[in-house]
A and B are shown apart, each in its own frame.
Chain A
Amino acid sequence: MIAIEPEPHAPAKSEGKALLIEGLSVGFGGLLALDQVSLTAFQRETVGVIGPNGAGKTTLFNIICGFVGADSGQVSYGGISLLERHHPHDLTKLGIARTLQGVGLFAGLTLLENVMAGAQAGLRSDIASAFLGLWRSSREERRLALRARELLDELGVGAYARYLPAALPFAVQKSAALARALIAEPSLLLLDEPASGLSNDEMDELATMIRGLRSRMGILLVEHHMDLVMSVCDRIVVLDFGRVIADGTPESVRSNPEVATAYLGDEIDKSSGHSQAFDDA
């Protein structure tokens, strides 16, 4: 398991890289998927992004990654704009890694190779040594394979390293997808619904994992499971129809009446802060 840093945990608000989003809007045809969204994630801060289905959470990630262009607004990470001349494949070089909604593993690559693929941008061996099969290339590969294996072991799925993802349990696939993001050693990790499809026990382990990670990196967590979001996040941003309707500590968001109405109002179970409407899985 990843080294777990004990509490207390204090996000650094002043120094270091921060993700700054200001007045971000994007529309698909007539639909305004994001409407004047502003959001900040400081270094080593875990920020939850929640909202009903279709609220624009994945779209937000897609803009940060460069898959979708913004209509207006500003997005920057560590002072570098993520809107102009920004391509998804440059993301890991900026220190940003992402897991995809669902699983998003490469079906034809073993679990080990899947994780190795996450470090692709950091590899240095040139094409000539790759063609000639020289040690310069194979040594780098072997080192990377060892590192990938270690990471899989830490997440408790190392025994499956040789297998293709399709035939493996869903939770194992999810762990590998996380390992593929972590191997790039990001300073900002974007997690899109990491808990969907997991059992309660597996979700507890995930929560421990995320808490262990946040001493090392900032995390943007999109998730429908409120228990998880409430227990790991320093701050929560609530999106509804593309607009930010709340932004604050887990407690303030939980007691926010506007948030409750966005989630089918009275059906919310206030005692546990958990709503069935949140679970789309």
Chain B
Amino acid sequence: MRQQGPPRHSLDNTSWLRRFRLPTQPLLRHLILALCGAGILYLVTSSLSPYNDYEIGEIALYVIALAGLSLLTGMNGQISLGNGAFMAVGAYTMALLMTHTQMNFIVELLAAIGAAAAMGLVIGIPATRLKGPYLAGMTLLFALALPPIADKWSTTFGGDQGLTTTVPNAPGNINPEEWLAWIQIIGALITLVLLANLIQSRFGRSFRAVRDDEIAASVAGIHVGRTKVLAFVISAGCAGLAGGFLGLSTGVVNTGEFPLTLSIQLLAAMVLGGTGSLMGMWWGAVLLVYLSQWSTSLSGYFNLGSGASAYLATIIFGVVLIVVMIAAPTGIQGGLRWTWRRILGLLFRQPAVIHPASGLPDDRVPIYQSDER
């Protein structure tokens, strides 16, 4: 009527790759993706050494923490410097239950999630009233306050030694590293499926609406405060599970495993992977695991003290962050998506899709579809 629509394009006929489509029903769609991911990871873990399997398990656990952070920052526009501390809450909860009770392993993990989420609620209710740097400051304060508490009640929390954790016995003759890695991978895949479903629901839309404009969101009937607290609690719960898994990987839970730099590195890795993306968190987690390994060997090479080597990891992270942000401002996932579109365009010589308002080809318009995951 008033305006003419964008010209119809014929992508669907020219490219067989585009004809293959995933279902739009969230559960089906994300289960299919998760099964594909599980297949790839199965090939990887079964062909690598046990030590590499251990590392892949670590990557998977960081994916969980990063996905929660990506939801919080990318979808809801909040910044947390406290997610390392939420990991500690989850890890200690699980380890305490392991030392004092004989609960089912799954129940212990759920308790880790629950405790961190509850802590997220306590911090989140006042913190979500704050914006930008104040919110970051409050979460930072939480991250700073937690280790002294664990040190103060050292009989409960095990002091410097910490608490030991035990991985449930591997069934059959699977080697323990591969078994642990698969526990963590399955945890990561389930988390990703749940979060991807949520993002595609009315709650995901509320998150993004609140991120973009709080006034317009509340006029639209969205409870802004509740929405922000929900996002905060979910990200804390994810960190709790990741913390429990980290406790399993290291075998002990002590404050040294959760330094302040962990929270900062999580934030940097999330930005590297692609803020707001879930798939991108795999790249972020890979960097998180391998960059700190490289920095450890680098500081060994230069004979740096242990204090300096901890900062070296952060410095290397910072440098990589700057480089990636210059090359791909939307993170690694954003850069890959852009490249993939280019390749498809070259291969199939798609007719340029013209953006209706600007008259530019669609891929020249910064983003024209809603947040892609």
Contact = CB atoms under 8 A, between A and B. Distances in A.
A168 B202 CA distance: 24
Contacts of A141: 200-202
A107 B212 contact: yes
Interface of A is mostly: helix
Contacts of A132: 27, 194, 197
A65 B355 CA distance: 36
A171 B356 CA distance: 13
A130 B218 contact: no
Interface stretch (B2-10, B48-56, B162-170): B2-10
B122 interface: no
A97 B203 CA distance: 20
**Which residue, of A91, A122, A163, has the highest number of chain B Cβ atoms within 10 A?**
A163
B301 interface: no
A158 B358 CA distance: 18
Contacts of A106: 208-209, 212-213, 216-217
Contacts of B4: 159
B30 to A, nearest CB: 6
A113 B3 contact: no
B198 to A, nearest CB: 5
Given A92-B220, A113-B205, A159-B356, A135 B25 contact: yes
Given A91-B221, A121-B221, A205 B2 contact: yes
Nearest to B371: A108
Given A88-B218, A109-B208, A131-B194, A137 B357 contact: no
A79 to B, nearest CB: 21
A87 B30 CA distance: 37
A250 B205 CA distance: 42
Interface stretch (B140-148, B255-263, B362-370): B362-370
**Which residue, of B26, B203, B216, B224, has the highest number of chain A Cβ atoms within 10 A?**
B216
A188 interface: no
B211 A164 contact: no
B206 A120 contact: yes
Given A132-B197, A133-B197, A164-B370, A120 B5 contact: no
A117 interface: yes
A125 B217 CA distance: 19
Interface residues of B, number: 52
A37 B222 CA distance: 29
A164 B222 contact: no
A138 B25 contact: yes
B215 interface: yes
Contact of A156 (B2, B29, B193, B201): B2
B6 A137 contact: no
Interface string A72-111: 0000000000000001111111000110100011111110
Contacts of B208: 106, 108-109, 113
Given A104-B216, A108-B211, A156-B1, A184 B221 contact: yes
A164 B201 CA distance: 19
B215 A117 contact: no
A144 B220 CA distance: 14
B219 interface: yes
Contacts of B202: 120, 123, 125, 130, 137, 140-141, 144
**Which residue, of B3, B4, B6, has the highest number of chain A Cβ atoms within 10 A?**
B3
A81 to B, nearest CB: 19
A116 interface: yes
A134 interface: yes
A156 B220 contact: no
Interface in A144-200: 144, 155-160, 162-164, 167-169, 171-172, 175, 180, 184
A116 B370 CA distance: 13
A202 interface: yes
A164 B368 contact: yes
Nearest to B31: A133
A65 B219 contact: yes
Contacts of B24: 138
A219 to B, nearest CB: 16
A135 B224 CA distance: 26
A89 B218 contact: yes
Interface in B284-320: none
B341 interface: no
Given A120-B206, A120-B220, A157 B3 contact: yes
A10 interface: no
A117 B209 contact: yes
Nearest to A115: B220
**Which residue, of B201, B209, B358, B371, has the highest number of chain A Cβ atoms within 10 A?**
B201
Contacts of B373: none
Nearest to A127: B203
Contacts of B367: 164
Contact of B205 (A87, A90, A120, A127): A120
Interface string B330-373: 00000000000000000000000001111000000111111100
A118 interface: yes
B228 to A, nearest CB: 12
16 contacts: A88-B218, A100-B216, A106-B212, A106-B213, A107-B213, A110-B370, A113-B205, A113-B208, A120-B209, A133-B29, A135-B27, A138-B25, A159-B3, A163-B355, A169-B3, A172-B3
Interface of A: 1, 65, 67, 87-93, 97-98, 100, 104-110, 113, 116-123, 125, 127, 130-135, 137-138, 140-141, 144, 155-160, 162-164, 167-169, 171-172, 175, 180, 184, 202, 205
Q: Name the 5 nearest CB pairs between A and B, nearest first.
A: A159-B5, A121-B221, A133-B197, A156-B1, A133-B26
Given A100-B219, A169-B357, 12 more contacts: A104-B216, A106-B217, A108-B370, A108-B371, A109-B370, A110-B369, A110-B370, A116-B205, A130-B198, A133-B26, A159-B3, A160-B3
